[in-house]
Structure 1
Amino acid sequence: MNASYDVKFWDIRPNKSTKPGENRKTISYTVRWTVAAREKSKTFRTSAQAKNWLSDLRQAANKGELFDLETGLPQSMLKAKEARTVYDFVRAYIDMKWPHAAAKTRDSISDGLATVLPALTKDRPGRPDAETLRKALRKYALLPEAKRPDVPLESKQALRWLEGASLDLTDLNETKTVRLALDALALRLDGKAASANTIRRKRAVLHAVLEYAVELEELPANPVHKVKWKPPKTTETVDPRVVVNPRQAEALLTAVASVGGRGRGRRLQAMFACMYYAALRPGETVALRRQDCHLPATGWGRILVDVSRPEVNVQWTDTGDAHEERGLKHRGRDDVRPVPIPPKLVKILRQHIDEFGVAEDGRLFRSERGKVVASTAYTEVWQDARALALTPAQVASPLARRPYDLRHAAVSLWLNVGVPAPDVAERAGHGVDVLLRVYAKCLDGQQEIANKRIEDALAA
């Protein structure tokens, strides 16, 4: 047997410069591990590269993969190492990445790769149309083999063509080849320009795949860095036009209770209140349980947010559930975020529990059938509430167009009334630098304060 489960890992070793006169700076980082007591190592230029490699190895070991005695690589990496075409390499990358990626991350990876793979092909007859190729990739090819459903004839033919036409992996060393992929990211299927955020997200997927090829020494360097290609600038800041004031927020929450058949709006009123008064993300709100809430008879309460259930297509989840449970965004799996909640929200939640009770697992918000509330259901209620609470001009505007905009309104309000940024960031689950960057345009009155301070300084 040329493989073993007996794998051990050592800490990453920084390598110091030995040149005379230098200040012994770190010049590289070495990952070391053993397979059946045989020592293996790989050296990287940066600490991040070394950590990524070690993480990939550890994840493969935790998944129970056999490690090859000769190369020291797990089976998933060997598959990528043996790939000769871009198409085969990408499929091996999916197999490696899938077990430890969130469902939304899997969806994003597939979306990006389904865009670039058709561009990285030879000019061969019988090319399927773009929509057929994308469907074959998204629904079948870019899934791990165990998750792949039976492939219909049309998709089989499309994938057979793609497999034969795919460029060799070594072709990616040519700048003109990588430019083909980058240019493909900038367009939608209908030929129109893609949004800046979509281009940025898909470029990150392409970059990660090529970095993996570099790690496996299939490419000498990431070819993306050689291409003089600039993606359009993305907008990270929240549009202040979407932010409602407290009076508008209350009007919307009141309207929610009056819309939707069979009392659906009233059942969802407290859920929207959590987004506004506690700045919870929708995925955090639908996962909220009674045991996470401290709801005193008077005064402020508290919510402990420790899980999120973002909605995604079931083909990307392990459970077949569209709301797979995940840890908090940008935090460790076991992290908990305490959020103080005002008496008004405490009262709303107490009334909701008295009227509707909770699910068997303690969830506060559920559909009439006890399921996790679907985004289509609460978005429909929200649009009806907007039509009821806002003027026609406001309905046609971006104002609170999405339920998520209630969270934006909450964070903007906290910042504008003078709550310190670190405290706001802790409540909202942001980093302080990201918080101030994202909400920069929603800070009312800050320019006047700055102008007054400058004026006073000049007068002195």
Structure 2
Amino acid sequence: MTAVANEGTFLLTDRQCASILDWAAAQPHNGLVLRAFLASVALAALQPKEALKLRARDVEFDDQGHGALLIPSQGRESRAEEADGAATVRRVPVGKGLAAILKEEIARRDLGPDDLVFVLDDGRPLTAPVYRDVWRQARAAVLEAHEADSPLGSTVSALRDARIAAWLRNGDQTAAHIVTVAECAGMSASRLAERFAHCLRKPTPAEIPWHLLEEDSDLSESASEPTGAAPRL
């Protein structure tokens, strides 16, 4: 079953995402790099254009098998900061699965710190036209006929949407949790809440702190009451 994200957009299931990665890995040409690229979108919620720019120096690994990706921020504020000589970078945690895939890809090609991570077998950098063509093939191979005829997974970014939705659903959905997810995804919390409203659990009446709201209301009312006639000058 697919879940509607907003009008005309649907979310891939975990099974469908995994099947697409497996399909990519099985391709005789560029299979491993395609799997690594798609995994970075599917498991770290990178924008495809961010993944294309990823260099070996941007990937960190720890002793426990996890890691992190260092992604330059894309927003208007970051561009202003870059003009001042202080570029901003967001740090995206990486689980063991993606860490292993990226570590294997970096070792397989013996990449240096400045080398792009996602390079085709013939040495050319992976580009948007190439991965879009592969995505069309993977989608047709993995999805059922009625799913392929729907908007489900129409672009590679569907992998990113599925990961963001999973992050939201699998947390406590407090304000701090939503902000953390937004930071990892490289978007504002307000935009995240608007775009993925269907993933956010609505609080029950019992969970809403009505007494605190009432106290705040009482305070506001008392502050607005006149304290007496103004003295004559």
TM superposition score normalised by structure 2: 0.74
CA shift at 1:279, angstroms?
Answer: 0.7
CA shift at 1:337, angstroms?
Answer: 0.5
Q: Which residue of 2 aligns with 1:304?
A: 70
Residue 20 of structure 2, aligned match among 229, 247, 252: 252
> Is 1:293 the equivalent of 2:70?
no
CA distance in 2, matches of 1:268, 1:359: 20
CA shift at 1:360, angstroms?
Answer: 7.8
Equivalent position SS for 1:242:
strand
Q: Deviations over 1:294-345 (max 9, x none)?
A: 1235342111112xxxxxxxxxxxxxxxxxxxx6234413110001111111
Equivalent position SS for 1:294:
strand
Identity %: 27
Q: Larger Cα Rg: Structure 1 or Structure 2?
A: 1
Seen in structure 2, the aligned counterparts of structure 1 residues 254 and 297 have a Cα distance that, compared at 3 Å, is farther
Seen in structure 2, the aligned counterparts of structure 1 residues 377 and 421 have a Cα distance that, compared at 3 Å, is same
Q: Which residue of 1 aligns with 2:49?
A: 283
CA shift at 1:371, angstroms?
Answer: 3.2
Q: Specify the code of the residue in structure 2 equivalent to 1:247.
A: R
Q: Which residue of 1 aligns with 2:189?
A: 432
Equivalent position SS for 1:280:
coil
CA distance in 2, matches of 1:338, 1:456: 32
Equivalenced residue count is 193
RMSD: 2.4
CA shift at 1:394, angstroms?
Answer: 1.5
> Is 1:328 the equivalent of 2:74?
yes
Seen in structure 2, the aligned counterparts of structure 1 residues 254 and 301 have a Cα distance that, compared at 3 Å, is same
Q: Do the aligned residues in 2 keep the contact of 1:281 with 1:407 (CA within 8 Å)?
A: yes
Equivalent position SS for 1:370:
coil
Q: Which residue of 2 aligns with 1:454?
A: 205
Q: Which residue of 2 aligns with 1:342?
A: 95
CA shift at 1:277, angstroms?
Answer: 0.8
Q: How does 1:300-449 map to 2 (within 5 A)?
A: 300-306=66-72, 328-332=74-78, 333=82, 334-358=87-111, 361-418=114-171, 420-441=177-198, 443=199, 446-447=201-202
CA distance in 1, matches of 2:52, 2:77: 19
CA shift at 1:240, angstroms?
Answer: 7.8
Q: Do the aligned residues in 1 keep the contact of 2:42 with 2:162 (CA within 8 Å)?
A: yes
Q: Do the aligned residues in 1 keep the contact of 2:29 with 2:121 (CA within 8 Å)?
A: no
Q: Do the aligned residues in 1 keep the contact of 2:56 with 2:116 (CA within 8 Å)?
A: yes
TM superposition score normalised by structure 1: 0.39
Seen in structure 2, the aligned counterparts of structure 1 residues 282 and 270 have a Cα distance that, compared at 3 Å, is same
Gaps spanning 5+ residues in structure 1: where?
1-236, 307-326
Q: Deviations over 1:107-139 (max 9, x none)?
A: xxxxxxxxxxxxxxxxxxxxxxxxxxxxxxxxx
Q: Do the aligned residues in 2 keep the contact of 1:281 with 1:404 (CA within 8 Å)?
A: yes
CA distance in 1, matches of 2:88, 2:206: 45
CA distance in 1, matches of 2:23, 2:56: 25
CA shift at 1:392, angstroms?
Answer: 1.4
Relative contact order (C-alpha < 8 Å, sep 6+): which is higher?
A: 2
Q: Specify the code of the residue in structure 1 equivalent to 2:75.
A: K
CA distance in 1, matches of 2:113, 2:102: 17
Equivalent position SS for 1:263:
coil
